[in-house]
Amino acid sequence: MNTKTIKLVIIGSINTGKTSLIYRLKNNSFNTHTENTIGAAFTKLIHTHNPSTYNIECWDTAGSERYAPLLPLYVRGAHIVLLCYDNWNANVIKDNLKYIHTNNTNTHVVMCRTKSDLITPSTNDDVRSRDTINAELMGWGKVHFVSSKTGDGISDLLNSVCNYIDEYIPNTTVHNTSHLSQLDNEKMKSKSCSC
């Protein structure tokens, strides 16, 4: 049995559904009572897909502007960053991406269009093709359309993450998170995360 341990960080603007997405990935259900994350929250996803076990160490960051200065610290050393947005805004997305690329040239970015259940059927095709084209133009491959509410797109997202790990991460990778100990413990806890 192969075991792979990776650091995954989820970033995006406030209320884009990051905590709900982590909750869905971990519990396969929708948490209707999330609160805004304070600083960041840590949770571990253990996913088994023979012959591999994936230990996915997740940092769920706060989208509030006032925590933005902490983002580079959390993102540092991440193998994968899930960049969440619930409405395409190139400037906001570029803003988020700048936190990733300063010191993280090896970080794999996965674009997640959250709350896909809120896209009306009449605009669904337009929104999907617009976001897909925009992401391609910006150099970011596939956009994952996910709904933490309905579970739509979640297994596809998880498969994508695991495929990336299979391809690029060696077995039992250990990463250094000691820099995080500089942070005030309280800032790392989220009132909202009940994962």
The contact set with Mg ion (CB under 5 A) reads: 18-19, 37
Parallel, antiparallel or unpaired: strands 52-61 and 40-49: antiparallel
Phi, psi of 87 (to 5 degrees): -160, 125
Burial class (CB in 10 A: 0-12, 13-18, 19+), 36: middle
Hunting for tokens 């709900």 — which residue is that? 20
Q: Smallest distance, Å, CB 166 to ligand GTP?
A: 27
Q: Smallest distance, Å, CB 124 to ligand GTP?
A: 14
Side-by-side strand order, sheet with 143-145:
40-49, 52-61, 2-12, 80-85, 108-113, 143-145
Which of 46, 90, 118, 133 binds ligand GTP (CB under 6 A)? It is 118
**Of 58-66, 70-78, 90-98, 165-173, which part binds ligand GTP (CB under 6 A)?**
58-66
| Residue 11 to residue 67: CA distance in whole angstroms | 11
DSSP 8-class letter at 116: G
Q: Smallest distance, Å, CB 54 to ligand GTP?
A: 22
Q: Closer to Mg ion at the Cβ: 128 or 189?
A: 189
For CA atoms 21, 27, 29, 33, give the dihedral sign. negative
From residue 67 to residue 106, what is the string marking binding to ligand GTP with x (rule CB under 6 A)?
----------------------------------------
Which of 9, 17, 111, 135 binds ligand GTP (CB under 6 A)? It is 17
Q: Smallest distance, Å, CB 20 to ligand GTP?
A: 3
* 37-144-67 Cα angle (round to 5): 25
Check binding of 15 to ligand GTP (CB under 6 A): yes
| Residue 17 to residue 1: CA distance in whole angstroms | 33
Check binding of 34 to ligand GTP (CB under 6 A): yes
| Residue 23 to residue 25: CA distance in whole angstroms | 5
Check binding of 189 to ligand GTP (CB under 6 A): no
The residue number with the shortest CB distance to ligand GTP is: 63
Check binding of 108 to ligand GTP (CB under 6 A): no
Tell me which residues touch ligand GTP (CB under 6 A).
12, 14-20, 34, 36-37, 62-64, 114-115, 117-118, 147-149, 192
